[in-house]
Amino acid sequence: MGDFKQDALRLDFDAKIRLEFHGSNITSDAGLLAYRELEDALELTTAVENSELKDSRTGKNTRHTLTALLRQSVYSRLAGYEDTNDAERLCVDPAMRRVVGGRATDKTAASTSQVARFETDILSTSENIGTLMDLAGRWIDQVRRCQPMKEIILDLDSSVSPTHGHQEGTSYNGHFECTCYTSRGHILRFL
């Protein structure tokens, strides 16, 4: 069979990127590009840029925006990196640099110390924790504006509350092998 030649795929958020398969010669985290494409389509970054995240950094040494630092923090976790220790390697990774955007596209993403300062000094302030808690709701609202929901399904699984002695309303449950209060699994639909 002959070789099949196909044009490379392009991304909407950065048309300069060509998606071709060359093994892991360039990056092992190319899957992040799909997340970044979804983020761009849903305009989730707009929610971050319009949020009230407070930046305590001063001076001209602020190389990366709060949005870029938040992206790097989130995308590194999505890629399976548990903490900031891998940021030194990720800051030069082509996929990470593209999904972070901004200055990282042409230079490097944030270093380990920059990401660590961002997560411990900036995100952990009481003002920013409240803003981050609200941000998840804003992202859900943004998704709902793009794709309205017709129904919500809550699938509540059964749970167990073990008891001791002869308490009213308890019974032996063979599945959980104990005397307990149990709640039955229910599916609730809201239209």
End-to-end CA distance of the chain: 53
In a domain, 4, yes or no: no
Percent of the chain topping pLDDT 90: 10
pLDDT of res. 76 = 92
pLDDT of res. 109 = 92
> How far is the CA of 11 from the CAs of 23, 71, 102, in angstroms?
19, 17, 16
In a domain, 65, yes or no: yes
Which tokens go with 153? 């399904």
pLDDT of res. 1 = 44
Task: Clarify whether residues 118 and 170 are in a common domain.
Answer: no
Judge whether residue 23 has pLDDT over 60.
Answer: no
Mean pLDDT of 75-93: 88
For CA atoms 111, 113, 119, 122, give the dihedral sign: negative
Task: Clarify whether residues 55 and 133 are in a common domain.
Answer: yes
Residues 100-149 pLDDT 10s: 998 898 899 999 999 998 889 888 888 888 888 888 888 888 888 888 87
**pTM for this entry:** 0.65
Mean pLDDT of 39-61: 78
Task: Clarify whether residues 39 and 130 are in a common domain.
Answer: yes
In a domain, 2, yes or no: no
How far is the C-alpha of 102 from the C-alpha of 88, rounded, in Å?
A: 18
pLDDT of res. 61 = 66
Q: Give the range of the structural domain holding residue 92, as residue numbers without chain letter.
A: 9-146
Judge whether residue 16 has pLDDT over 70.
Answer: yes
In a domain, 174, yes or no: yes
Question: Which helix (H) or strand (E) element contains residue 172?
Answer: strand 171-173
pLDDT of res. 2 = 44
Number of domains in the chain: 2
In a domain, 73, yes or no: yes
Mean per-residue pLDDT over the chain, rounded = 80
Task: Clarify whether residues 64 and 104 are in a common domain.
Answer: yes
Task: Clarify whether residues 139 and 158 are in a common domain.
Answer: no
